[in-house]
Every structure is written in structure tokens, then in C-alpha cells.
Amino acid sequence: MTYDYDLFVIGAGSGGLAASKRAASYGAKVAIAEDDLVGGTCVIRGCVPKKLMVYASHFPSLFESAAGYGWQVGNTELDWEKFITSIDQEVRRLSQLHINFLEKAGVELIPSRATLVDEHTVEVDDRKVTADKILLAVGGRAIKPDLPGMEHAITSREIFHLQSQPKHIAIIGAGYIGTEFACIMRGLGCEVTQIIRRDKILRGFDEDIRTQIQEGMTNHGIRVIQNTVVTDLEKVGDELQLNLSGEHTEPVTADVFLVATGRSPNVEGLGLENAGVDLVPSSLEGPGYSKMNAIAVNEYSQTSQPNIYAVGDVTDRINLTPVAIGEGRSFADSEFGNNRRIFSHENVATAIFSSPEAATVGMTETEAKDKLGEDGVKIYRSRFRPMFYTLPDQPEKTMMKLIVDVQTDKVIGAHMVGDYAAEIIQGVAIAVKMGATKKDFDATVGIHPSSAEEFVTMR
């Protein structure tokens, strides 16, 4: 049968862009449909604008540190309108850059929403087109719990477009998004209250990371309310009142309320039922949340329909931009490049751009002990104040940790909290991925003086 396209991609985010360009490089006729700005969550309302906000949030502490080195720093003030406008301009510049890359690669961009009609047919722009293979790369979306008053709350989608700087922002959510924005907004000068359902943030991360970040946040003036949930939200004049239950029941009043309790795979309205694409449960915890679904795929990102594939957050495997890119390229190599391969989801490094920053690769201490037993794991840990903070006499601490398999001597986990954690762990991740041993780390000469050298000097 003759098709209009060899590949039709729905969603021009990280995974869809990577897959479409790679497939086109092998000579495939490719189209990609997107009804939003090209670039997906990462470029538009995720990694890129968030990291720009992270950079901005660090300047007040740098001004404070500068005084310890003899610099006289005068009055400082954030021009919020200029700040937000500059971020939006950069997002749009990058979006256009991705459009240019598609054109250069020979991928046809259709700026419209696309839905499945059947296993080989897509409806887009009120017309039907066919494709030999279809890739679903529509990502996820921020959601709110179904609780009274939630129409007054914002999500990570809207926070980049606040017209004025909040005086007090309340946040629910203890994951990446809630924790990072609590630190960002505090660094920018806002009063911040973070409400979490358990006693610690960042469930699933190594306990030392969770503890040290939360302590650092508290030291930076963030109020963390533990073991508490929001039951409803009321508009009281110009402010919002959050009513609570749990360990803390006194209402919290703020002028902005950010819901950062999870993201849902973007499966609604895709027409999956028309093509017989199966879903798997992907639940979010908490009052007001219903069960969510993700697209079921095998190790080759293939759905229950052999010619339909899915990559990225819509599959709810590891929801990170580099993972979506890797999955997309692996799919294209396998189906169009005569190089059938599986993208490995093992030892994927990640970072939390909080204050303090953290990064990690491999197993947590709990995971390692569950798998290998208490006696099968050796832990190396170091905590210290980096040299940068000695002259300003600031109490910032860095934590580094290695988890070693006693039987093989392999480093199976590396974790860090402190300045430049993401940059440092990125290099360490190569060693962990290659199967380096603790002896290999010990044999590596450190760069002195640096924080990173601690990873090769721990005894």
C-alpha cells in the first residue's frame, strides 16, 4: 500500500523533534503536527524557562557572598516585567530555531492538532492523511486536583507568565516542580510556603538528598508544612486562603497558589480508541485525583498497534527531556536506519535545580540495600563547607555520596547536594554507566582545590 508519509509524528516536543529529524536523515518522508509552540514542555514551559529563572534567583545570594570578598554591593531590585519578558523572548527564539531545524532536515511541519482515525490514518487540518508508521510524542500536562476553588490556582504552565511578582506564594507538591519553584521564588525575594503530604520532599530520591535539600530550603527561609493537604481554596479579597487538614490545620493565606502535584500523560483527544492503542494505569496520589493513563509500549517504544509508536512523557517511563530524545532517536534508528536498538533506561542521571542544587545517578542507598542486602553495600559519604563560603562565612554545605557493591567493587550510585551538582554528576555518570569500581575512583587524581575532587578522595 502507498502512504502519504513514511512517518507521521504527533507532537513537536523533545521526543518528536528528535525522532522526526533522525528519520528524515535516513530518507524517510516525514511530517510532524503541533498545535502549540514548537519545542514542547522543555522549551516552552519547562527546562529552559525554569533554568533561566534559577539563574536569576541566585543573584541575591551572590551579592551577599560578594560582600565577604570585599565588594561593596549597593541596593538591588528585580525588574519583574523585564525579567518575564526576556524569558518569553528567549523561549520564542528557541521555538523558531527548532522550526528552522525541521525545515533544514526536510520535515514538513503542520501547525495543527492531529488525531488518530485508524492505525494508518491521521486527521489534521480537516483532512485525512496516511502514514506507514505513526509516532505519538504529545508529552504530558500539569493538572490540578478536583477540589473546591482550584480555578484560582496556577500550574507550572502559568507561572512563567505572572504579570507581577508575588509577595507570598504557596505551593503544594513535593516533587521536582514544587521544590524547584519554591527555591526559585524564594531566591527572587518572595515569601514561600510549601505544603507537602509527607514529612519529606522528593520521594524516591536518596534519603541524604531529601534531607539535605529540605534543611537547606528551611535555612533559606522557605516554610515547609509537613504531613498536610489542602482541602479547598477560597478567594478572600485580593488574596487566596488555603484550608488545610492533617498535621497543620491553620489556613494559609497567599496572593499566588501554585499546584505542582503531578503531570498527566496527554492521552485525551488523541483518538487512541480509533486505532486500538492500549493504555496502562499511571496514577497520581492525593485527595481530588483520579486514576490517569499512559500509552503502553514495549522496549522498542512500540504500542499495541505494530505500526504506532510512542515516546516521552506520554508513556510515563522516565519523564526527562534527554530520555525522550534518546527514545525518539532509538525509534528512528530502529525503524528507518537499519540499526535496531533499545534505549537503556538504566543509570539515567538527573538533577534537581533547587537551592541547594542536587544531582544523582544510579541506585539510592535504600534501593541498593533492598537488592544486595545490608552487608552487600558499602556507603561513602562526605559533608563539608565549600571554600567559596569561607570568607562570607555562610553556612552552605555540600554532601557527596557513593554507593558501592561490596562483591564487585562497582560504584552503583552517586549522589550530590551542593553547587554545580548537575555539572559534576554529569561526568560521574559516565563512570557509573561504564561500570567503574571504587578502586577506579580512588586511582583518579583529583583537581585541587575543587568540590568535585571529593568524589575521588572519599575513604
The per-residue pLDDT for 147 is 95
pLDDT, mean of residues 35-61 = 97
Please, which residues have CB within 8 angstroms of residue 223's CB and are 6 or more apart in sequence? 191, 192, 193, 194
pLDDT band at 199 (very low <50, low <70, confident <90, very high): very high
Residue 345 catalytic?
no
Lookup: cell for 262: 503531578
Kindly report, residue by residue over 233-257, the tens digit of the pLDDT.
999 999 999 999 999 999 999 999 9
The architecture of the domain spanning 150-261 is 3-Layer(bba) Sandwich (3.50)
pLDDT, mean of residues 383-404 = 97
pLDDT at 285 over 80: no
Does domain 356-456 correspond to CATH entry 3.40.50.300?
no
pLDDT, mean of residues 88-106 = 98
pLDDT band at 33 (very low <50, low <70, confident <90, very high): very high
5-47+81-141+264-336 and 150-261 agree in CATH topology: yes
The per-residue pLDDT for 151 is 97
d(CA 178, CA 222): 12
150 φ, ψ (degrees, to nearest 5): -70, -10
The per-residue pLDDT for 1 is 83
pLDDT band at 218 (very low <50, low <70, confident <90, very high): very high
pLDDT at 361 over 90: yes
The residue ranges of DSSP E strands in 218-282, in sequence order, are: 223-225, 228-236, 239-246, 252-254, 256-259, 263-265, 279-281
User: Of the listed 120, 248, 345, 448, which one is catalytic?
Assistant: 448
Q: 439 vs 121, 368, 383, 405, 453, CA distance in Å? A: 56, 19, 21, 12, 15
pLDDT, mean of residues 414-435 = 98
The per-residue pLDDT for 61 is 96
| Average pLDDT, rounded, for the chain | 97
What homologous superfamily does CATH list for 5-47+81-141+264-336? FAD/NAD(P)-binding domain (3.50.50.60)
The per-residue pLDDT for 282 is 80
Lookup: cell for 104: 533544514
The structural domains of the chain, with segments of one domain joined by +, span 5-47+81-141+264-336, 150-261, 356-456
pLDDT, mean of residues 318-330 = 98
To the nearest whole percent, how much of the chain has pLDDT over 70? 99
Lookup: cell for 46: 519547562
- Model confidence pTM above 0.85: yes
d(CA 175, CA 160): 18
d(CA 425, CA 205): 15
